[in-house]
Amino acid sequence: MSAELQFFLAAKSAGIFRHLDADRVAQINQEVGGNDIALVMCGDCRHSRDKLSHLFKTFPGQQVHVMAFNGGGIIADALAPCNKRGFNFAQFAQEQILQSLNVKGHIAQLFLEAHFPCAVAGQSDMTIMDQVRSLISVKCHLKELIGDRKPVVKIGLLYHWFNDNASIEGARRMYYFCDREMEEFLSQYRDLLVAV
Ligand SMILES: [Zn+2]
């Protein structure tokens, strides 16, 4: 079993990667008084149909403002290895996200996505763990940049998993994860690997 698959399955069985709850998405929108959703995703042609069809099913009543960048949310991380191969896209991506929130005043939730297998992440030897760390870091940075905008923007983190042999349940699916839970899981997982 590859290290990537091992980590994915461990995080999934621990309930860290979990299915996105459409009711919860609708409830958050109602609480913050907005209806639109912004999505930063990798536009990879091999996986975009699967990702978008899943999300449109999950968000049937909302408009989805899509920003498709190569690599998805990880390119908004200035320190990500994928931004150290020449041009650093982080500021561009961050400005695009902020612009979307400014011009689309009803966006109540912003989702940052990364996925496996991703050519941009792979080119820079970024593992799933590196990708999720990058998304957490981008979320934290964006919260500072967004400040006290009204309506409040909730930032959610997504991970799309695609397995070619599709023999594992849920092999093609968009998952949600919580930054705090993932950080805790990552530190435990690292200890587990050191112990092995
Ligand atoms: Zn990709």
Q: Give distance in angstroms: CA of 33 to centre of ligand 1.
A: 32
Helix (H) or strand (E) holding 94: helix 90-103
Q: What is the CATH number of the domain that holds 59?
A: 3.40.1050
Q: Is residue 193 part of a domain?
A: no
Q: Give distance in angstroms: CA of 55 to centre of ligand 1.
A: 17
99 near 77, Cβ under 8 Å?
no
Number of structural domains, the chain? Answer: 1
Q: Is residue 104 part of a domain?
A: yes
pLDDT value for 78: 97
Q: Which domain holds residue 31?
A: 19-178
% of the chain exceeding 70 in pLDDT: 91
Q: Is residue 41 part of a domain?
A: yes
SS3 171: coil
93 near 50, Cβ under 8 Å?
no
Q: Is 71 left (phi over 0), alpha (psi -120 to 50) or beta?
A: left
pLDDT value for 20: 77
pLDDT (tens place) for every residue of the chain, 196 residues total: 788 888 999 999 999 998 877 777 777 777 777 778 999 999 999 889 888 888 888 887 788 999 999 999 999 999 999 999 889 999 999 999 999 999 988 898 999 999 999 999 999 999 999 999 999 999 999 999 998 877 789 999 999 998 766 566 656 788 999 999 999 999 988 766 655 4
**Is 0.85 topped by the overall pTM?**
yes
Q: Is residue 160 part of a domain?
A: yes
Q: Is residue 194 part of a domain?
A: no
Q: Give distance in angstroms: CA of 24 to centre of ligand 1.
A: 27
82 near 49, Cβ under 8 Å?
no
Q: Is residue 5 part of a domain?
A: no
Structure token digits, residue 143:
């919260």
d(CA 171, CA 48) in angstroms, rounded, equals 15
Q: Give distance in angstroms: CA of 120 to centre of ligand 1.
A: 6
